[in-house]
């Protein structure tokens, strides 16, 4: 299948690096491909970024049959363009597709499409510290039909946005609140899939903690409201008495690519990482004993977010005196260093474009 290429005749002006926000401006081109039952994925095209037409009856607008991914492209100091573990994104997208009854992608084909698109828009990759080109592959159901069933047509798109730091002001410890009213998901739900519904469902809790003076939520499991699962839209790690602990993937937690990379990185340093279930009661007890040394969240958008304070009911736990932990900083520096080409990629994470 050849990718048709339609180049823009009106290249847009690029924003200055210091003005870049997250996910607001988009590069000149996008990739689009359609799926029709019986025909498979067809008509791949790279075309100027712009609006799409949808029928108001399109299933995505009613039943949210949709999945997405997020990854980043960087330009190295030598001017080479590189992606961070992109094959992991397409693998995960296919797992999300399976849960959401969306047809599988040919991972090799979309990887090639992604590289072609990034190459075309490589001038859009910002190079100032902390910046990157955020890449958003996504799929949504397009059947113009309002009965509840699996769609027979889909659109797969890749759009790209030059971004500054996810959190304005750069790496800084954030305040997180343990959510005990709302639930993100439950065993047998869609928690493991990167689908829209998980994110829409979490907005109310996010709004609630903002009002309380916190930036994000720490989600507990939906069943017992005890086991620590995720922080907002990120995975979470704790350094407990010299050992790194992160919640094990039990089907309700997103299998983060940054999570996986942090585990590999720590092991390569000879550190001990334990993936296990951990309750908020146990965590509080450990904090009382002074054993929680560092806490941080991991995700593609922010890479690493140090957690300074964790609110739970009427209590507040502070880690490392509310400052960025030594390991937290080192993990961020290393990951971002490898991603941006400032540090050697010893773990084979980088794919050159």
Instruction: Give the nearest distance from C-beta 243 to its own copies in angstroms.
Output: 31
Contact 162, 25 (CB under 8 A): yes
Q: Where are the alpha helices (DSSP H) in 100-172?
A: 107-120
Query: Which residues contact residue 308 at a Cβ distance below 8 angstroms, ignoring those fewer than 6 apart?
Result: 172, 173, 174, 175, 318, 319, 320, 322, 323
In angstroms, give the least distance from the CB of 202 to its own copies: 8
Q: Cα 242 to the chain's mean position, in Å?
A: 27
3 state DSSP class of 124? helix
Instruction: Fill in the DSSP letter of residue 88.
Output: H
Is the alpha carbon torsion for 315, 192, 145, 1 positive or negative? positive
Helix (H, G, I), strand (E, B) or coil at 25: coil
- Which parts of this chain interact with its own copies (CB under 8 A)? 22-24, 26, 30, 49-57, 60-66, 68, 99-101, 134, 136, 138, 140, 144-150, 157, 159, 161, 166, 181-190, 195-204, 206-207, 222-223, 232-233, 301
Shorter beta-carbon distance to its own copies: residue 202 or 341:
202
Angle between helices 107-120 and 86-99 (to 10 degrees): 130
| Phi and psi torsions of 42, nearest 5° | -150, 170
Closest to 88 in 3D by CA, of 115, 67, 107: 107
């Amino acid at each position: 299948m050849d990718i048709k290429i339609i180049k823009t005749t009106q290249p847009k002006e690029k924003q200055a690096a210091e003005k870049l926000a997250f996910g607001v401006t988009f590069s000149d081109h996008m990739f689009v491909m359609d799926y029709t039952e019986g025909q498979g994925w067809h008509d791949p095209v790279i075309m100027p970024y712009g609006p799409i037409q949808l029928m108001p009856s399109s299933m995505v607008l009613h039943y949210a049959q949709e999945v997405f991914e997020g990854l980043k492209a960087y330009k190295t100091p030598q001017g080479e363009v590189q992606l961070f573990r992109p094959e992991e994104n397409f693998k995960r997208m296919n797992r999300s597709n399976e849960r959401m009854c969306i047809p599988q992608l040919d991972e090799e084909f979309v990887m090639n499409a992604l590289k072609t698109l990034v190459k075309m828009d490589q001038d859009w990759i910002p190079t100032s510290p902390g910046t990157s080109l955020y890449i958003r592959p996504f799929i949504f159901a397009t059947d113009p039909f309002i009965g509840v069933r699996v769609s027979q047509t889909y659109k797969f798109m890749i759009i790209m946005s030059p971004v500054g730091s996810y959190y304005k002001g750069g790496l800084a410890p954030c305040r997180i609140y343990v959510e005990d009213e709302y639930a993100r998901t439950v065993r047998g739900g869609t928690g493991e899939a990167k689908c829209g519904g998980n994110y829409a469902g979490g907005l109310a809790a996010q709004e609630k903690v903002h009002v309380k003076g916190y930036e994000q939520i720490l989600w507990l499991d939906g069943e017992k409201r005890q086991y620590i699962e995720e922080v907002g839209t990120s995975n979470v790690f704790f350094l407990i008495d010299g050992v790194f602990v992160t919640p094990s993937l039990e089907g309700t937690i997103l299998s983060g690519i940054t999570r996986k990379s942090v585990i590999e990185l720590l092991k390569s340093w000879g550190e001990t990482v334990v993936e296990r279930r951990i309750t908020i009661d146990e965590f509080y007890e450990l904090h009382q004993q002074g054993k929680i040394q560092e806490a941080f969240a991991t995700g593609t958008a922010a890479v690493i977010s140090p957690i300074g304070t964790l609110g739970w009911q009427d209590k507040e736990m502070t880690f490392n005196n509310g400052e960025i932990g030594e390991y937290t900083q080192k993990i961020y520096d290393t990951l971002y260093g490898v991603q941006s080409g400032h540090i050697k990629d010893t773990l084979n994470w980088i794919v050159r474009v």
